[in-house]
Amino acid sequence: MIDVRNLSYSYSHNKSYAIRDISFEVGEGEVFALLGPSGAGKSTTQGILTGLLPIQTGEGEVAGFDLRHMSRDLFNSIGVSFEQSNVYGKLTALENLAFYRKLFDVETEDPMELLKMVGLDHVANKRAGDYSKGMKHRLTFARSMINKPKLWFLDEPTTGLDPTIAGQIKDIVLKRKQEGTTILLTTHNMFLADQLSDKVGFIVDGELKLIDTPRNLKLKYGQRLVQVDYYQDGELVSETLSLAEAGEKHRLSEIVAAGNIETMHSREATLEEIFIKVTGRELVYNEAD
């Protein structure tokens, strides 16, 4: 569905690259997450793939369309949800969607159904300008589904949403994934990327450092750990022990044999820990990203 090779882009048209030599593939029905901190080049990459930025160097195809000769027909099969909500404030939510659906040549979703899906049906006839930030974000998200996209670009889809709404959005994305929609997710949220993606790519300073499945990354870079809380001489003690180390495995056996355990959990490395390990950078969220 997406196949790009050696993409580089400079906003100032010089050697100061926002992204440099990026190559990756996303197969049909796959969810690929571009994970990186603020200013890493995630949105620039998405901008090129959605035609919002012109391709400078490199080549690629999106949904069967050459990036160098993009046709408007491409947009019948893709949907884009922006990080910054962008809806017409003077129109109601329903009017926003009713207008946008007319811009496509393909069968579209019922606007009211979409609003129900994102929990905005009770304010469907309220002007979007009077919505809260989160509501506008949900409307922007709903709009990206209006043309039943085969390829869906999601830029920070849960940023700024409360946990309940963020959970609903995540469920919608999972449902679409099950229905076979290909998804390119750009986010700094490693939990979201972990839960939704088949593959992740770590992007830092405009360079794609690594691509793999979350499971392989955890196996490769993470340690199998067990965190155990137990009582010793009347005091609660907590230890994290590696199952890869013989000495620590033995220590775990001793604790278990003593029988004073309060809680015991297996613990995997998170994507964030792996990200830091691989790139030496943290996934710090920045509103301006």
Partner 1 sequence: MLRRILAVTMRDLRSGMRDAMIPYILIAPLLVAVLFKLFVPGVGSTVINVAMPETAEPAFAEYVERYGEVELLEDRDAIVKRVQAMDDLFGIVPKADGGYELIAAGDELTGTVEMVQSVLSSWQNPDLEPPVELKISDMGWELSPLARFGTNFLVVFMSVFGGMIVMLNLVEEKQYNTMAAINVSAIRRWEYVLGKALPGLILPILHAFAVLVIMGFTEVDYLQVAVVAFAIALISMIIGFVVGVYQSEPIGAVASMKILFLPIMASVFGAIFLPEKWQPVLYWSPFYWAYRSVDDIVLQQAAWSDIWLHNLIIIAITALVFALMHKRIKQGMRA
List residues near partner 1 by CB under 8 A: 50-52, 72-73, 75-76, 78, 80, 82, 84, 86-91, 95, 99-100, 102-106, 127, 140, 143, 147
**Beta carbon nearer to partner 1, 78 or 117:** 78
Query: Up-side HSE of residue 206: CA atoms within 13 Å toward CB?
Result: 14
Report the nearest approach of partner 1 to the CB of residue 98 (Å): 9
**Beta carbon nearer to partner 1, 142 or 274:** 142
- C-alpha Rg value of the chain to the nearest Å: 22
**Beta carbon nearer to partner 1, 70 or 276:** 70
**Structure tokens belonging to residue 82:** 């922006």
Write the CB contacts of 277 (distance below 8 Å, at least 6 apart in sequence): 221, 269
**Beta carbon nearer to partner 1, 106 or 174:** 106
**Beta carbon nearer to partner 1, 65 or 230:** 65
Q: Which residues pair with 79 in a beta bridge?
A: 152
Report the nearest approach of partner 1 to the CB of residue 142 (Å): 12
DSSP label at residue 92: B
The CA distance from 247 to 259, in Å, is 19
Residue owning tokens 């076979």: 180
DSSP label at residue 206: T
Report the nearest approach of partner 1 to the CB of residue 271 (Å): 28
Report the nearest approach of partner 1 to the CB of residue 154 (Å): 13
Report the nearest approach of partner 1 to the CB of residue 121 (Å): 21
